[in-house]
Amino acid sequence: MTELGQGRQAHGCWSAGGHTGADGTVTTARRERATEASERHPKKRDGVLRKGPAVKYAGMEGQRTDYTVDAMCMVLAVSERGYRAWRQGGTPNRTRLTDAQMLTWIRAIHEELKGAYGSPRMVRELRRRGIPASKERVERLMREHGLRARHKRRYKTTTDSKHHLPVAPNWVDRNVTPSVPNQSWTSDITYLWTDEGWLYLAIVLDLFNREVGGWSLQPRRTADIVTDALACFRRKPAGGRIHHSDRGSQYASQPFPHTLREYGMICAMSRKGNCWNTAPTESWCTRFKNERVHGLRDATRAAMTAASFEYSEVFYNRTRRHSTLGYRSPMQFLDEWRLAQHEKNLVAGNPPDGRRKTEGSSQQLKSSLFSEST
């Protein structure tokens, strides 16, 4: 909000006075001072300043980390009381937002997440932000105002399985929901177009929480791309872990199985025409293209690399709600699992570091007895 920066400069010239109306707008005294400031800064007449209070409040909500509430209220000519009442649903005693207020929130989230969410995820995102919302109401508002998630495109197979390289058996056998993290990984490759030419993206997912743990983006689709994605995995490979993929030549060629053997990992591959075990990675590639690639134009490979990093590391892992995970993000799902395991260990008397509590308890008992005797 460029107006806020200008408003901060003028904020020191304004005195605290005037009264607020029931609808949250500023009455005569403060409105006159805001008008004088607007005349000194003609740009303030444009943009959000010409909108109604609900739109101004929504704009303030997105700038709370950068500006104080009183400064924003002064610049936008609204009252703090009206803004705080709006955050609660319109009035201090009101719990339901009007359609205009709800639509303002939906539009803001839709723009923030670049059209990634349809109505089911939008409902949960609104509730996470403390806004009461029903599925039917959100569906209606999004439908009436043409707000929808980005459309899916027809899937195109790019796997090169017509080769005579050795393939591994399918050890996963449709078990794509392991009970602990870092047990089963799955990988896939997709292609991305830029004005500078094609790029190929290889990703590695942890099937436990669908987290993108490693990825590699290169201009050539060789065996190096899958080994690099595995090497970049934030959870270092360990013996006995399963790595599952399709029968593409990049995974079946000698460098990749050799890398897995060095890590002590087990190689698994789906048979031709069986997409059950690679469905999570194929689904991820489809989401990424729908939400960040299709309909946009990346002029350079560097821009595509930045978009890939932002989606996988920032948005998908930490923010995007996954239906398989109960509409939690991968990191939230993992954090909740770790917390549950920690509490379970405490109940069982086994600290997370593996040490027994008996030693610590005896020391505490000795300290307690010593303090009582003295």
- Reported as a single tens digit per residue, the pLDDT across 248-300 is 888 887 788 888 888 888 888 876 656 666 788 988 998 899 888 887 777 79
CATH number at residue 255: 3.30.420.10
pLDDT score for 362 = 44
Query: Is 168 within a domain?
Result: no
Joined tokens for residue 294? 């299709």
For 12, the enclosing helix (H) or strand (E) is none
**Cα–Cα–Cα angle for 272, 169, 184, nearest 5°?**
100
Query: Is 152 within a domain?
Result: no
pLDDT score for 331 = 94
**Sequential DSSP letters for 277-333:** TTHHHHHHHHHHIIIIITT----SHHHHHHHHHIIIIIIIHHT--BGGGTSB-HHHH
pLDDT score for 156 = 53
pLDDT score for 175 = 63
pLDDT score for 202 = 93
pLDDT score for 176 = 65
> What is the per-residue pLDDT across 136-146, written as a single tens digit (0 to 9) for each?
999 999 999 99
Q: What percent of the chain has pLDDT over 90?
A: 27
Residues 199 and 312 in one domain: yes
pLDDT score for 49 = 63
Query: Is 326 within a domain?
Result: no
Q: How many domains does the chain contain in total?
A: 4
Residues 337 and 316 in one domain: no
pLDDT score for 44 = 44
> What is the per-residue pLDDT across 106-164, written as a single tens digit (0 to 9) for each?
999 999 988 889 999 999 999 988 888 999 999 999 999 999 887 655 555 555 555 45
Q: Provide the terminal-to-terminal Cα distance of the chain, rounded to the nearest Å.
A: 66
Rg, the chain, Cα only: 28
Strand order of the β-sheet with 266-269 is 211-218, 197-206, 184-194, 242-245, 266-269
Query: Is 158 within a domain?
Result: no
- pLDDT value at 172 more than 70: no
Range of the domain at 347: 333-373
**Cα–Cα–Cα angle for 371, 373, 374, nearest 5°?**
65
Q: How far apart are CA 213 and CA 201, in angstroms?
A: 13
Query: Is 173 within a domain?
Result: no
At 215 the three-state DSSP class reads: strand
pLDDT score for 11 = 42
Residues 105 and 23 in one domain: no
Q: How far apart are CA 14 and CA 74, in angstroms?
A: 9
**Of the given ranges (6-20, 93-107, 308-322), which has the lowest mean pLDDT?**
6-20
- Most confident listed range (47-51, 91-95, 167-171, 244-248): 244-248
Mean pLDDT of 229-249: 78
DSSP secondary-structure letter at 254? T
Mean pLDDT of 11-33: 46
pLDDT score for 374 = 40
pLDDT score for 2 = 45
> What is the per-residue pLDDT across 187-213, written as a single tens digit (0 to 9) for each?
999 999 899 999 999 999 999 999 998
User: Beta-strand (E) ranges in the chain?
Assistant: 184-194, 197-206, 211-218, 242-245, 266-269
Residues 197 and 313 in one domain: yes
Q: Which long-range contacts (CB under 8 A, 24 or more apart) does 17-21 make?
A: 20/79, 20/81, 20/82, 21/79
pLDDT score for 200 = 94
Q: In the predicted model, what is the mean pLDDT of the chain?
A: 76
Q: How far apart are CA 186 and CA 243, in angstroms?
A: 6
Residues 301 and 252 in one domain: yes
Residue at 287: amino acid letter: R
Residues 261 and 294 in one domain: yes
Query: Is 190 within a domain?
Result: yes
Q: How far apart are CA 203 and CA 216, in angstroms?
A: 7
Residue 241 burial (10 A CB sphere; 0-12, 13-18, 19+): middle
Mean pLDDT of 34-50: 50
Q: Between residues 24 and 326, which one has the greater pLDDT?
A: 326
Q: Closest by alpha carbon to 170, among 108, 251, 75, 102?
A: 251
pLDDT score for 74 = 87
Query: Is 149 within a domain?
Result: no
Residues 237 and 205 in one domain: yes
Q: Using the 3D structure, point to which of 295, 320, 345 is the last residue of a domain.
A: 320
Strands 266-269 and 197-206: unpaired
pLDDT score for 136 = 93
Residues 53 and 128 in one domain: no
Q: How far apart are CA 108 and CA 185, in angstroms?
A: 35
Residues 307 and 355 in one domain: no
Q: Between residues 71 and 51, which one has the greater pLDDT?
A: 71
Query: Is 248 within a domain?
Result: yes
**Cα–Cα–Cα angle for 92, 113, 218, nearest 5°?**
160
Residues 188 and 314 in one domain: yes
pLDDT score for 249 = 80
**The pTM is what?**
0.60
Q: Closest by alpha carbon to 73, among 8, 158, 156?
A: 8
Q: What percent of the chain has pLDDT over 70?
A: 68
> What is the per-residue pLDDT across 342-368, written as a single tens digit (0 to 9) for each?
999 888 876 555 444 444 444 543 444
Query: 193 φ, ψ to 5°?
Result: -100, 135
Measuring CA to CA, how many Å separate 62 from each of 11, 112, 114, 153, 205? Answer: 20, 10, 15, 32, 32
pLDDT score for 165 = 55
Residues 246 and 363 in one domain: no
